[in-house]
Structure 1
């Protein structure tokens, strides 16, 4: 049995868990425009904010000097806030099933 190197194993686990949608909190945690909360997800600081337009958005805080916050995909489902750090994954819910059209006789 091969035991993976610790750093390699951590990197592979982070890649596996980071791709996907992750529950952050309930929408009620940000009741008013201008409210925000900061969470750490896989070692990355993420700011979730409710704008004055009432939309909820998420941003990755860059550690570089003078780095602008990078937008993170954020979705609201059933009163819950979800974020996805993997930019390749675009689906939160199952894609709609294609219904077959009846054939003419």
Structure 2
């Protein structure tokens, strides 16, 4: 295994490797009740996964700028597990959370 000579090269290779596909976050049982939340870091971005008042599980990107509203990111529930839709789910302006499916 070779180590990339530059941090930019490493980041580009990681983005290419993880660009597509769904990635496991945690089990739904980690947030069993309304109002429960879980904070994770995915691809260097802080993400809050919360169980809303309507019992749906949604994910939000935590913005670092002042007064920034949480930005929804794509997530899905399958087989009792929470999945996230890769790094383009963070950057896509059309990314909307999905409920239980």
TM range (shorter): 0.7 to 0.9
Name 1:58's counterpart in structure 2: 59
Q: Which moved more, 1:48-57 or 1:3-12?
A: 3-12
| Unaligned ranges ≥5, structure 2 | 96-101
Name 1:86's counterpart in structure 2: 88
Q: Give the distance between the partners of 1:55 and 1:35, measured in 2 at CA.
A: 11
- Within a 5 Å distance, the mapping from 1:34-73 to structure 2 comes to 34-73=35-74
Q: Deviations over 1:34-84 (max 9, x none)?
A: 000100011100000001110000001111121111100110000000011
Name 1:99's counterpart in structure 2: none
Give TM-score scaled by structure 1 length: 0.72
Name 1:97's counterpart in structure 2: none
Runs of 4+ in 1 over 4 A off after TM superposition: none
Q: Give the distance between the partners of 1:38 and 1:60, measured in 2 at CA.
A: 10
Q: Give the distance between the partners of 1:43 and 1:18, measured in 2 at CA.
A: 14
In structure 2, relative to structure 1, the CA distance for the partners of 1:39 and 1:4 (3 Å cut) is: closer
Give TM-score scaled by structure 2 length: 0.75
Q: Give the distance between the partners of 1:48 and 1:32, measured in 2 at CA.
A: 12
| Unaligned ranges ≥5, structure 1 | 91-105
**Kept after mapping to 2: 8 A contact 1:50/1:56:** yes
